[in-house]
């Protein structure tokens, strides 16, 4: 009887607990915004907010959903777009852009529309229909117009300036060029082809200049438009300075016979990803990609100087004049399309009881370089290690490549034939044959006529989603793609006389001006699945005090049946490639969408335990943001859910906000 009474008592306690109201939302927690794309000027993607905690994050619910109208609707003739924007917050408004170069202002509490601006880009000039964010300048203008100015790069090669209050173009911006509210990024570049130069990443504002790079199309020609970095006056749009990424000893374009409308060298590396700013030190940190074409480089010294000098390097520029303060190269003579795709992250790194002003740079190779951001010198040793050489007479390779020793590389470097994987003995065996038939000498195997296996591949390691850094815990959180690429060079004469469009129809990159065409593909089995053992995408945390991984988990399920992986069983947590990045909060929560399934997830930053997930209306291949506006207000987490056209996830046009239940 006593035992029965005890069971009744326990059951009563459980029922009372289940019926008890949840603890009240903490309104004494901090208030904070998200003023720039990466959360702060250094791109740490960390928020001091603590209202949402590991204990209550499971109660998050959708509060509002805003539709841009881009897909489908705004420009039906545009076809597929990608919605990868991270909004910025100023006062009580969210500002963001869409893949059709449209800018938006909405109320941050309600999600109600305030204004929309359409730059009406020429879609014939647009190949990659993406806009990841805006930049904001706050100052004083004559007449009080555009005292808060938004800057947006467009997919047809322009930068527009908009009044943040009204969404109308700032008429004085670009006036010297004979334009109203915009400047052309094609000015001084020389000859361009449709869709060859445009912006996907937001510019940065430093003092009274707005600074931008550009994306230049890959694999096209040796004389592609140059990757010049330019600074424009925030009010007038007049050019203040330009950094042409060639050695100081390089002869001018005019000396090399360039036409009058070409002011900058061609074929130079471009910086298409996100810049960081150290306002205290007046420095801009620029992540450069490789000199083109990406997989062929025998031509890069043809003018007597090295086009690779600033390629694949983090470059610190003086914000006042654009002069180089330092550079650090992550890859020498890149033949693998190992662009620096991630934003340089500015952190205070703890070492030997001291805090060092540092820069953390992740790469596609799975390397994480920790540099002194004042000097560019590695904080921990970086070793130059011997790597394979090319057997092509018209190519050269660097004999060594830099490898960080702290932390150790975060991505496997190469895959052997006996590591081939498949669902069945058949596809495993076929994958083994494929690997055995390729040049495969580990990371930095040069492209070849036989075909070279590259692991990490072009989409491997960390991409534009970058890492998030929790300064108090000294933890870096980052996703890693594990994708094997096969790159095969083809002698041009094999297809002599074939038109450009027909070569592209065969899936070949043109590499005009070189002896080779290029075939590039992901290494897949006959069943259409990767030839390596899953996970094919992971999320990890690294302790930057010790250099050790705290945790690593498969990241992403097959729930949404990604095309190309259609043979996978439904809903398995195999870990999939991603497009986007994480954010962290002071309460110890990591938020990330990014993976190829349609979820926003929350993890514990210390353990990697999944705490919560919510379905999104479309692919969440974007980086979220978070904010809390008032003392009595809620903390919101917002993410763009519009999919990624090139990754073939579900497309849409939603911006979705989550928060704890009101009251």
Q: Among all residues, which ones are annotated catalytic?
A: 337
**If we measure between CA atoms, which residue out of 213, 45, 44 comes closest to residue 639?**
45
Place of tokens 């509490």: 109
Strand 582-585 versus strand 46-47 pairing type: parallel
Paired with 349 in beta bridges are: 356
Using omega within 30 degrees of 0 as the cis cutoff, is the peptide bond preceding 535 cis?
A: yes
Six token digits for residue 517: 């065409």
Task: Identify whether the C-beta of residue 58 lies closer than 8 Å to the C-beta of residue 595.
Answer: no
Distance from C-alpha of 614 to C-alpha of 623, rounded to nearest angstrom: 15
Helix (H) or strand (E) holding 325: strand 324-329
Beta bridge partners, 46, equal: 584
Buried b (16+ CB within 10 A) or exposed e, 184-212: bbbebbbebeebbbbbbbbbbbbeebbbb
Of the candidates 153, 137, 284, the residue with the CA atom closest to the CA atom of residue 214 = 153
Q: Which of 638, 579, 662 is nearest to 65 (CA)?
A: 638
| Cα–Cα distance measured from residue 220 to residue 64, given in angstroms and rounded to the nearest whole number | 43
Whole-angstrom CA distances from 248 to 223, 241, 245, 307 are: 20, 16, 9, 12
DSSP class of residue 71 equals I
Alpha-carbon gap, residue 60 to 601, rounded angstroms: 11
Q: What is the DSSP letter of 8?
A: H
Prior bond of 185 cis (ω within 30°): no
User: Could you write out the DSSP letters of every residue in 195-249?
Assistant: TSEE--S--EEETTEEEE--EE-TTSBTTPPP--EEEEETTT--EEEEE--S-TT
Contact 335, 297 (CB under 8 A): yes
- In angstroms, the CA 117 to CA 150 distance is 11
Contact at 8 Å (CB) between 353 and 304? Answer: no
Cα 325 to chain centroid distance, Å, stands at 24
Tokens of 636: 């919101």
Alpha helices in 468-570 (DSSP H): 500-505
Are the C-beta atoms of residues 469 and 584 closer than 8 Å to each other?
yes
Q: Shortest CA distance to 500 belongs to which of 262, 214, 193?
A: 193
- For residue 256, give both structure tokens: 């090399």
Nearest partner of 469 among 349, 301, 313, judged by Cα: 349
């Amino acid at each position: 009887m006593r035992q029965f009474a005890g069971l009744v008592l326990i059951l009563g306690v459980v029922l009372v607990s289940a019926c008890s109201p949840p603890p009240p939302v903490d309104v004494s927690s901090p208030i904070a915004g998200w003023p720039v794309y990466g959360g702060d000027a250094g791109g740490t993607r960390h928020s001091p907010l603590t209202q949402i905690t590991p204990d209550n994050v499971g109660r998050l619910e959708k509060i509002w959903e805003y539709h841009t109208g881009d897909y489908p609707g705004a420009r039906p003739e545009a076809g597929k777009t990608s919605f990868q924007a991270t909004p910025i917050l100023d006062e009580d408004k969210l500002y963001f852009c869409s893949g059709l170069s449209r800018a938006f202002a909405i109320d941050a509490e309600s999600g109600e529309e305030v204004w929309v601006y359409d730059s009406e880009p020429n879609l014939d000039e647009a190949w990659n229909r993406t806009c990841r964010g805006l930049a904001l300048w706050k100052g004083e203008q004559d007449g009080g117009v555009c005292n808060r100015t938004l800057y947006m790069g467009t997919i047809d090669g322009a930068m527009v300036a908009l009044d943040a209050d009204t969404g109308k173009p700032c008429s004085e911006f670009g006036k010297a060029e004979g334009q109203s509210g915009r400047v052309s990024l094609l000015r001084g570049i020389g000859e361009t082809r449709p869709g060859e130069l445009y912006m996907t990443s937001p510019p940065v504002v430093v003092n009274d200049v707005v600074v931008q790079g550009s994306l230049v199309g890959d694999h096209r020609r040796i004389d592609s438009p140059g990757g010049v970095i330019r600074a424009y006056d925030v009010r007038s749009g007049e050019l203040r300075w330009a950094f042409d990424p060639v050695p100081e000893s390089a002869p001018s374009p005019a000396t090399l016979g360039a036409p009058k409308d070409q002011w900058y060298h061609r074929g130079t590396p471009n910086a298409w990803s996100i810049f960081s700013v150290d306002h205290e030190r007046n420095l801009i940190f620029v992540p450069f990609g490789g000199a083109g074409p990406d997989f062929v480089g025998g031509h890069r010294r043809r003018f007597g100087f090295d086009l690779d000098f600033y390629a694949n390097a983090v470059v610190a520029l003086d914000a006042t004049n654009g002069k180089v303060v330092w550079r650090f190269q992550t890859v020498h003579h890149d033949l693998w399309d190992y662009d620096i795709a991630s934003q340089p992250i500015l952190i205070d790194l703890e070492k030997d009881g001291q805090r060092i002003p540092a820069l953390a740079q992740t790469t596609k190779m799975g390397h994480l370089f920790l540099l002194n951001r004042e000097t560019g010198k590695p904080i921990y040793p970086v070793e130059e290690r011997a790597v394979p050489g090319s057997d092509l007479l018209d190519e050269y390779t660097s004999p060594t490549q830099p490898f960080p020793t702290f932390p150790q590389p975060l991505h496997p470097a190469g895959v052997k034939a006996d590591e081939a994987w498949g669902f069945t003995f058949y596809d495993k065996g076929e994958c083994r044959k494929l690997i055995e038939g390729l040049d495969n000498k580990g990371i930095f195997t040069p492209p070849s006529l036989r075909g070279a296996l590259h692991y990490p591949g072009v989409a491997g390691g960390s991409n534009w989603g970058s890492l998030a850094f929790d300064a108090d815990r000294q933890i870096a959180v980052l996703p890693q793609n594990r994708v094997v690429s096969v790159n095969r060079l083809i002698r041009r004469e094999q297809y002599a006389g074939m038109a450009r469009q027909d070569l592209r129809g065969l899936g070949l990159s043109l590499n005009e001006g070189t002896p080779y065409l290029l075939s590039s593909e992901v290494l897949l089995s006959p069943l259409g699945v990767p030839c390596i053992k899953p996970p094919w995408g992971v999320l990890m945390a690294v302790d930057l005090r010790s250099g050790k991984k705290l945790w690593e988990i498969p990241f992403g399920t097959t729930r949404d049946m990604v095309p190309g992986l259609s043979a996978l069983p439904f809903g398995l947590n195999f870990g999939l490639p991603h497009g986007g990045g994480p954010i962290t909060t002071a309460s110890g929560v990591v938020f990330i969408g990014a993976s190829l399934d349609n979820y926003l997830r929350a993890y514990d930053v210390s353990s990697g335990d999944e705490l919560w997930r919510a379905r999104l209306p479309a692919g969440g291949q974007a980086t979220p943001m978070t904010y809390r506006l008032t003392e009595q207000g809620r903390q919101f987490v917002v993410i763009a859910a519009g999919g990624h056209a090139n990754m073939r996830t579900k497309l849409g046009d939603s911006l979705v906000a989550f928060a704890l239940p009101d009251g």
